[in-house]
A and B are shown apart, each in its own frame.
Chain A
Amino acid sequence: MNWKVLSIKSIRFFKVGRILKDKLHSSWMFVSFIIVLLLPFLLGIGLFLKSNLIIKEESLLQLLFSSQWHPMKGEFGFLPFIISSLWVTVLSILICGPICLFSAIHLTHYAKRGMLKIMHPVIDILAGIPSVIYGVWGIILIVPFISRLGASLGHPNSGYTILTGAIVLSVMIIPFILNILIEVINTVPQELEEASLSLGATKWETIKKVILKKSFPGIISAFGLGISRAFGETIAVLMVVGNVVKIPKGVFQPGYPLPSLIANNYGEMLSIPMYDSALMFAALILFVVVTAFNIGSRYLIIYSERRI
């Protein structure tokens, strides 16, 4: 055999081996990517199949808009839970939104640089505290405070109210929102700030008209993430919100958000017919709302990015 031919053959073989490896590795990555991609769909489909029973039994409209919750009689109206969830979420964002935004602006544009270095560990600590601890803190501090506040405002209450839940929740989501906000505002190039200043703008005008505008898509995604977290947060809210099945008429009334419903009853009340399916339906609502919210804020991000 000719040596030259042999060596060419072995080179070919070697090459084929490398190409094979290349294909193999890229297919691994593709499979992992597909798994991640499919997860939410699998979750959604699973929840849907499990709650299918109750959706078939009663109309979707009935389930979503009836406030009659009598599982023993087979009546499942989710409105009180949905309204409670909305109350708590919206209120918590209203409480922490301005705080997060202003402290992010302060940290990135007014405070000394060292402050950011101090703030980062603080934020990480806040984010890392288990939610049950926030719940306990809520019971010890916020519940009596709200009880007294309500009484002085003419709304006597036990302290276990929508407002209590919202306050605890807002403290819990501050680190997540703040972290992203700082990141987002910091990525606005300094040259843009200089451009605005050199046109005679003051610092505040620059922040308001240029920096916040430029980081608007990022700000939306920060709050989007915060809202998604708030909507699904369970334990801490459950501990302070009162858990009374009634449509809350004000912030000093107790509520019963969807996650609390699931956490309180799953595994205990399952002897009641349809209850299992009803809780799955609650989970499905959570899932759909959070997903819809994510998609909505993504759309808003893309839309506003196109405008700047």
Chain B
Amino acid sequence: MINGTKIKVEHLNLHIGKEHILKDINLVIPEKQLTVILGPSGCGKTTLLKSFNRLTDLNPDVKISGHIFNGDEDILHPKTEITQLRKKMGLLSQSPYPLPMSIFDNITYGLKISGRRKKKFLIRRVENYLRQVSLWEEVKDRLKDPASALSIGQQQRLCLARGLAVDPEIILADEPTSALDPVSSKDIEEMFLKLKQRYTIVVVTHILRQARRIADYVIFMYLGEVIEHGPAEQIFEHPQHEMTKAYLKGAYN
């Protein structure tokens, strides 16, 4: 089932202050598939995700070593151009954080930053991406309204559209449904299944059932270590490691 490799992590270690958060992580993330990083809360899933687009840089106490390759490019190399890198990775956070501006401006924010300012182009893009997340019909008459006026579920879809608008290669999602109601959660999951034909998607979750529903590839983490990773069927049907088996039985939940 595995085609190409999109991201390759080698000997990744991450400390925050004196705490060893990520311990010698080695793994691959397959291209144009949906990878789930699974594990109990506090095992370093989110930190791993954020080191992919170097949001870990925001915390000055973080010390990071090892390599994360996106193709040939080492993401952690100090000379990597960080805004270009981040543009390749759309981020969807736990609860939606729409930018403090209108619905329209939320989508065009990334585009305008990269210098696309032609009004016609922007209008087309906004419609296109809002359609992709099935939000267009709901908001087409109030694009100038502040994004904060939308419901939480709509906001999360807007955030997804905003991320897609900068044309990323990878979508990073950090427990993207944890703040949403069941219907909105289902919307997001279905969108991921649609989007994985064109994007590499990495979803962090601690919800086993969600992982079973959407994953092509699974990375199981526990206390900062990758315990096991492999194609979804293999992990779910024939887990090799005792800890994985226990988690799948619900021992840690």
Partner-B contacts on A (CB < 8 A): 112-113, 189-202, 205, 209-210, 213-214, 306-308
Contacts and interface: CB of A to CB of B under 8 A. Distances in A.
A199 B113 contact: yes
A112 B61 CA distance: 10
Interface in B65-84: 83-84
B58 A194 contact: yes
A195 B83 contact: no
Given A190-B58, A194-B91, A194-B93, A200 B101 contact: no
B86 A197 contact: yes
A201 B113 contact: yes
Nearest to A202: B83
Nearest to B145: A307
Given A194-B50, A308-B101, 19 more contacts: A190-B58, A191-B95, A192-B100, A194-B55, A194-B91, A194-B97, A195-B93, A198-B53, A199-B113, A199-B163, A200-B113, A200-B166, A201-B113, A209-B99, A209-B109, A213-B101, A307-B146, A308-B100, A308-B148
Nearest to A199: B110
A192 B93 CA distance: 9
Contacts of B60: 112-113
Interface in B179-194: none
Contacts, number: 73
Contacts of A199: 86-87, 109-110, 113, 162-163, 166
A205 B113 contact: yes
B224 interface: no
B9 interface: no
A193 B146 CA distance: 18
Contacts of A195: 91, 93, 97, 99, 159, 162
22 contacts: A113-B60, A191-B95, A192-B99, A194-B50, A194-B55, A195-B97, A198-B55, A199-B86, A199-B87, A199-B162, A199-B163, A200-B166, A201-B83, A202-B83, A205-B113, A209-B99, A209-B109, A210-B99, A214-B100, A306-B146, A307-B146, A308-B148
A213 to B, nearest CB: 5
Contacts of A200: 83-84, 86-87, 110, 113-114, 166
B203 interface: no
A193 to B, nearest CB: 7
A214 B100 CA distance: 6
Closest 5 interchain pairs by CB? A200-B87, A308-B100, A198-B91, A199-B110, A214-B100
B90 interface: yes
